[in-house]
Amino acid sequence: MVRHPAVRIVDLTHEILAHWPAEAGFWLARSFRYFPTGSVHVAVVDPGVGSARGILIVAAHEHVFLAPDNGLLADVIDAASSPQVRRLAPEAFGRLKLATPSATFHGRDVFAPIAAELAAGRITPGDLGPRVEEWIPGWLDAPLVAGDQVSGQVVTIDHFGNLITNIESRLLPQAPHSVVLVGGQSIVLRRTYADVRPGDYLALVNSFGVVEIARAERSAAEGLGIARGAPVTVSARHS
Protein backbone atom coordinates (compact mmCIF):
# COMPACT_ATOMS: atom_id res chain seq x y z
CA MET A 1 0.00 0.00 0.00
CA VAL A 2 1.33 3.42 -0.98
CA ARG A 3 0.56 5.60 2.02
CA HIS A 4 2.11 9.00 1.28
CA PRO A 5 3.53 9.28 -2.26
CA ALA A 6 4.18 13.02 -1.92
CA VAL A 7 6.36 12.72 1.17
CA ARG A 8 9.91 14.07 0.95
CA ILE A 9 12.37 11.49 2.23
CA VAL A 10 15.86 12.40 3.44
CA ASP A 11 18.06 9.34 3.91
CA LEU A 12 20.51 10.55 6.53
CA THR A 13 22.78 7.50 6.57
CA HIS A 14 22.95 3.73 6.23
CA GLU A 15 26.49 3.59 7.62
CA ILE A 16 25.65 3.34 11.32
CA LEU A 17 27.30 0.41 13.06
CA ALA A 18 24.88 -2.52 13.19
CA HIS A 19 23.62 -3.75 16.55
CA TRP A 20 24.72 -0.64 18.52
CA PRO A 21 21.82 1.83 18.98
CA ALA A 22 24.07 4.27 20.86
CA GLU A 23 25.71 5.44 17.64
CA ALA A 24 22.41 5.95 15.83
CA GLY A 25 21.09 7.91 18.80
CA PHE A 26 24.19 10.09 18.87
CA TRP A 27 23.82 11.14 15.24
CA LEU A 28 20.06 11.54 15.41
CA ALA A 29 20.29 13.84 18.44
CA ARG A 30 22.79 16.03 16.60
CA SER A 31 21.10 16.04 13.19
CA PHE A 32 17.38 16.53 13.68
CA ARG A 33 17.70 20.28 14.32
CA TYR A 34 18.76 20.77 10.69
CA PHE A 35 15.28 19.64 9.60
CA PRO A 36 12.08 21.73 9.63
CA THR A 37 9.95 21.57 12.74
CA GLY A 38 7.23 18.98 12.39
CA SER A 39 9.56 16.51 10.66
CA VAL A 40 9.12 12.80 11.36
CA HIS A 41 12.37 10.96 12.07
CA VAL A 42 12.65 7.19 11.78
CA ALA A 43 15.72 5.44 13.18
CA VAL A 44 16.01 1.67 13.01
CA VAL A 45 19.01 0.01 14.58
CA ASP A 46 17.13 -2.92 15.99
CA PRO A 47 18.96 -5.97 17.36
CA GLY A 48 15.69 -7.04 19.01
CA VAL A 49 13.61 -7.02 15.83
CA GLY A 50 10.80 -9.57 15.98
CA SER A 51 10.97 -9.86 19.76
CA ALA A 52 8.74 -8.34 22.43
CA ARG A 53 10.82 -5.13 22.53
CA GLY A 54 8.65 -2.04 22.38
CA ILE A 55 8.46 0.76 19.83
CA LEU A 56 8.56 4.38 20.97
CA ILE A 57 6.90 7.42 19.44
CA VAL A 58 8.38 10.59 20.90
CA ALA A 59 7.11 14.14 20.41
CA ALA A 60 9.95 16.46 21.44
CA HIS A 61 11.71 19.59 20.20
CA GLU A 62 8.72 20.17 17.86
CA HIS A 63 9.63 16.98 15.97
CA VAL A 64 8.37 13.39 16.06
CA PHE A 65 10.71 10.42 16.48
CA LEU A 66 9.97 6.76 15.86
CA ALA A 67 12.43 4.05 16.93
CA PRO A 68 12.76 0.78 18.83
CA ASP A 69 12.76 1.04 22.61
CA ASN A 70 16.38 -0.02 22.96
CA GLY A 71 18.13 3.15 24.10
CA LEU A 72 18.34 4.72 20.64
CA LEU A 73 16.17 7.71 21.57
CA ALA A 74 17.71 8.31 24.99
CA ASP A 75 19.78 11.33 23.89
CA VAL A 76 16.78 12.95 22.20
CA ILE A 77 14.54 12.38 25.21
CA ASP A 78 17.13 13.47 27.80
CA ALA A 79 17.73 16.76 26.00
CA ALA A 80 14.02 17.66 25.77
CA SER A 81 12.33 19.85 28.37
CA SER A 82 8.94 18.11 28.21
CA PRO A 83 9.03 15.09 25.89
CA GLN A 84 5.86 13.13 25.24
CA VAL A 85 6.91 9.50 25.07
CA ARG A 86 4.44 6.87 23.89
CA ARG A 87 4.70 3.14 23.35
CA LEU A 88 3.11 1.66 20.25
CA ALA A 89 -0.05 -0.25 21.22
CA PRO A 90 -0.96 -3.56 19.52
CA GLU A 91 -4.38 -2.13 18.60
CA ALA A 92 -2.69 0.40 16.31
CA PHE A 93 -1.83 -2.36 13.84
CA GLY A 94 -5.48 -3.01 13.13
CA ARG A 95 -6.47 0.66 12.94
CA LEU A 96 -3.69 1.37 10.45
CA LYS A 97 -4.39 -1.82 8.48
CA LEU A 98 -0.84 -3.02 8.87
CA ALA A 99 -0.18 -6.54 7.67
CA THR A 100 1.31 -9.01 10.10
CA PRO A 101 4.95 -7.91 10.25
CA SER A 102 7.80 -10.20 9.38
CA ALA A 103 10.12 -11.30 12.16
CA THR A 104 13.15 -9.63 10.60
CA PHE A 105 12.17 -6.42 8.77
CA HIS A 106 10.15 -4.07 10.96
CA GLY A 107 11.74 -1.08 9.22
CA ARG A 108 9.64 -1.95 6.19
CA ASP A 109 6.62 -3.52 7.85
CA VAL A 110 6.08 -1.27 10.87
CA PHE A 111 8.21 1.86 11.03
CA ALA A 112 7.86 3.05 7.43
CA PRO A 113 4.05 2.84 7.18
CA ILE A 114 3.52 4.45 10.59
CA ALA A 115 5.94 7.25 9.70
CA ALA A 116 4.04 7.81 6.45
CA GLU A 117 0.73 8.12 8.31
CA LEU A 118 2.29 10.60 10.76
CA ALA A 119 3.86 12.65 7.98
CA ALA A 120 0.58 12.73 6.06
CA GLY A 121 -1.17 14.09 9.13
CA ARG A 122 -3.74 11.31 9.20
CA ILE A 123 -2.69 10.29 12.70
CA THR A 124 -0.90 11.89 15.65
CA PRO A 125 1.41 10.28 18.21
CA GLY A 126 -1.54 10.19 20.59
CA ASP A 127 -3.34 7.79 18.25
CA LEU A 128 -0.59 5.20 18.47
CA GLY A 129 -0.39 4.28 22.12
CA PRO A 130 -0.33 5.34 25.76
CA ARG A 131 2.16 7.73 27.30
CA VAL A 132 4.88 6.04 29.31
CA GLU A 133 7.32 7.27 31.91
CA GLU A 134 9.91 4.52 31.55
CA TRP A 135 11.99 3.41 28.58
CA ILE A 136 15.32 1.74 27.92
CA PRO A 137 18.13 4.17 28.83
CA GLY A 138 21.10 4.96 26.64
CA TRP A 139 23.90 2.44 26.39
CA LEU A 140 26.62 4.94 27.29
CA ASP A 141 27.06 6.72 30.59
CA ALA A 142 26.80 10.49 30.46
CA PRO A 143 30.17 12.27 30.63
CA LEU A 144 31.42 12.77 34.18
CA VAL A 145 32.87 16.10 35.27
CA ALA A 146 35.16 16.14 38.30
CA GLY A 147 37.05 19.35 38.98
CA ASP A 148 39.11 20.26 35.92
CA GLN A 149 38.65 16.84 34.32
CA VAL A 150 35.85 15.32 32.24
CA SER A 151 35.53 11.66 31.28
CA GLY A 152 33.51 10.21 28.42
CA GLN A 153 33.66 7.59 25.69
CA VAL A 154 34.21 7.14 21.98
CA VAL A 155 30.78 6.90 20.36
CA THR A 156 31.62 6.55 16.69
CA ILE A 157 34.45 6.47 14.18
CA ASP A 158 34.05 8.38 10.93
CA HIS A 159 35.25 7.59 7.41
CA PHE A 160 38.64 9.18 8.10
CA GLY A 161 39.29 7.16 11.25
CA ASN A 162 38.57 10.08 13.57
CA LEU A 163 37.40 9.04 17.05
CA ILE A 164 34.28 11.02 17.96
CA THR A 165 33.37 11.19 21.64
CA ASN A 166 30.31 12.15 23.68
CA ILE A 167 32.23 14.94 25.47
CA GLU A 168 30.60 18.24 24.54
CA SER A 169 32.63 21.43 24.38
CA ARG A 170 30.58 23.05 27.17
CA LEU A 171 31.98 20.43 29.57
CA LEU A 172 35.63 21.09 28.85
CA PRO A 173 37.91 22.49 31.57
CA GLN A 174 38.02 26.28 31.64
CA ALA A 175 41.77 26.44 31.15
CA PRO A 176 43.99 27.80 28.38
CA HIS A 177 45.28 24.33 27.49
CA SER A 178 43.87 20.83 27.79
CA VAL A 179 45.10 17.33 27.04
CA VAL A 180 43.10 14.28 26.03
CA LEU A 181 44.04 10.87 27.43
CA VAL A 182 42.97 7.98 25.21
CA GLY A 183 44.53 4.58 24.59
CA GLY A 184 47.44 5.41 26.87
CA GLN A 185 48.33 8.52 24.84
CA SER A 186 48.21 12.16 25.97
CA ILE A 187 47.08 14.30 23.05
CA VAL A 188 46.93 18.09 23.10
CA LEU A 189 43.62 19.77 22.33
CA ARG A 190 44.06 21.94 19.22
CA ARG A 191 41.82 24.16 17.10
CA THR A 192 42.19 22.64 13.60
CA TYR A 193 43.69 19.63 11.83
CA ALA A 194 46.30 21.96 10.30
CA ASP A 195 47.79 22.75 13.72
CA VAL A 196 49.96 19.61 13.57
CA ARG A 197 52.16 17.90 11.02
CA PRO A 198 50.88 14.97 8.89
CA GLY A 199 50.94 11.83 10.97
CA ASP A 200 50.70 13.62 14.31
CA TYR A 201 47.80 13.08 16.69
CA LEU A 202 45.58 15.89 17.88
CA ALA A 203 42.24 16.45 19.57
CA LEU A 204 39.77 19.19 18.70
CA VAL A 205 36.15 20.24 19.02
CA ASN A 206 34.46 19.19 15.79
CA SER A 207 31.53 20.61 13.85
CA PHE A 208 29.03 18.83 16.13
CA GLY A 209 30.52 20.47 19.22
CA VAL A 210 32.11 17.36 20.71
CA VAL A 211 35.71 16.30 21.30
CA GLU A 212 37.25 14.33 18.46
CA ILE A 213 40.63 12.59 18.38
CA ALA A 214 42.30 12.65 14.99
CA ARG A 215 45.58 11.91 13.24
CA ALA A 216 46.46 14.43 10.57
CA GLU A 217 45.99 12.86 7.12
CA ARG A 218 45.82 9.37 8.67
CA SER A 219 43.50 7.22 10.80
CA ALA A 220 43.57 7.76 14.55
CA ALA A 221 41.48 4.62 15.05
CA GLU A 222 44.03 2.43 13.29
CA GLY A 223 47.03 4.16 14.83
CA LEU A 224 45.75 3.95 18.40
CA GLY A 225 43.90 0.65 18.05
CA ILE A 226 40.81 2.27 19.59
CA ALA A 227 37.23 1.11 19.09
CA ARG A 228 33.79 2.44 19.99
CA GLY A 229 33.18 2.54 23.72
CA ALA A 230 36.80 3.31 24.63
CA PRO A 231 37.22 5.67 27.61
CA VAL A 232 38.43 9.21 27.00
CA THR A 233 39.49 11.81 29.58
CA VAL A 234 40.13 15.52 29.05
CA SER A 235 42.17 17.35 31.70
CA ALA A 236 43.39 20.89 32.14
CA ARG A 237 47.09 21.38 31.56
CA HIS A 238 48.47 23.94 33.99
CA SER A 239 52.02 24.16 32.69
* Judgement on whether residues 177 and 219 belong to the same structural domain of the protein: yes
For residue 199, give its domain range.
144-236
Q: Cα–Cα–Cα angle for 112, 73, 148, nearest 5°?
A: 155
User: Is 171 found in the same domain as 219?
Assistant: yes
pLDDT of residue 177: 84
Positive or negative CA dihedral for 44, 27, 22, 184? positive
- Domain check: are 180 and 206 in the same one? yes
**Which H helix or E strand runs over 178?**
strand 178-182
> Is the pLDDT reported for residue 39 higher than 70?
yes
15 domain-assigned: no
Q: What is the pLDDT of residues 97-117, one digit of tens each?
A: 998 999 999 999 999 999 999
1-23 per-position pLDDT tens digit: 688 888 999 999 888 888 999 99
Nearest to 32 by CA among 23, 19, 41, 24: 41
Tell me the average pLDDT across 196-212. Answer: 96
Average pLDDT over all residues of the chain: 94
Q: What's the confidence (pLDDT) of residue 17?
A: 87
Query: How many domains does the structure of the chain reveal?
Result: 2
Same domain as 111, residue 30? yes
In a domain? residue 122: yes
DSSP string, 189-230: B-SSGGGS-TT-EEEEE-TTSEEEEEETTB-HHHHHT--TT-
Average pLDDT over residues 177-189: 93
The answer on 123 and 155 residing in a single domain is: no
Same domain, 54 and 112: yes
For the entire predicted model, the pTM comes to: 0.89
